[in-house]
Amino acid sequence: MEGSSVTLTCNSDAQSAVNYTWYKKNQTLLNKEPQLVFSSIQSSDSGEFYCSAENELGKKTSPYININVKHRPNLPSVSVSPSEIVEGSSVTLTCSSDANPAANYTWYKENEWSPKASGQIFTITDIRAEHSGNYYCVVQDTTGHYNSTLHLIVVGGKSLLIMNIIRLTLVVLMLIPLFVISLCLRMKKTRSLKTELNEPVEMIEMRETIDNMNPVI
């Protein structure tokens, strides 16, 4: 069990002194002692181990010994797919927890005593508004049980249409100020351009007027 103390001991019959080395499969050596001690073994320590015995006459390697560290389930995580639930669609609830040995999964709806489903995956086909509410997944093994909750909100067809209309309205309201600003800038630019084009014409007209007032001698 996870958290317990575990000792692996390597022995070899030899007439001269033997040096011992402990290894984990596919990893480097762990120590150079006859014993490999785990004072508080963890699930990550699971795997295959072996030792070697060596002296001046040669080296021998032991068979593998497998360590399978059992541990209670972790707090389960729950998820729902799709995230936006529309009435009449199919919805999948998923529950997962790391446990050794494998745990049992059961789905419940809040305020209902009978289970809705067993297993990690709970699928609701043709979901309706009355399916809305809190669902929780219970993970259980010989050491105890744990649960996590998620909340489902089922959106009806009319409600979804209203939501989409509201979203479209909000987008339009956001775009109107930008359109007005853009229009004002265009009008301002057009007026400025007209003013620049009209100035030379006005100067020519003034000159012609002055010439007409002065008689030619």
Span 28-72, pLDDT tens digits: 789 999 999 999 999 999 999 999 999 998 999 999 999 999 988
Span 116-155, pLDDT tens digits: 999 999 999 989 888 999 999 999 988 778 888 888 888 7
Superfamily of domain 77-155: Immunoglobulins (2.60.40.10)
Same fold, 6-67 and 77-155: yes
What is this structure's pTM?
0.58
Residue spans of the domains in the chain: they are 6-67, 77-155
Whole-angstrom distance, CA of residue 105 vs CA of residue 139: 5
Beta strands in the chain (DSSP E): 6-9, 19-24, 29-31, 35-38, 47-55, 58-61, 65-67, 77-81, 85-86, 91-96, 104-109, 117-118, 121-124, 133-141, 144-152, 154-155
Could you name the CATH architecture of 6-67? Sandwich (2.60)
Whole-angstrom distance, CA of residue 75 vs CA of residue 206: 91
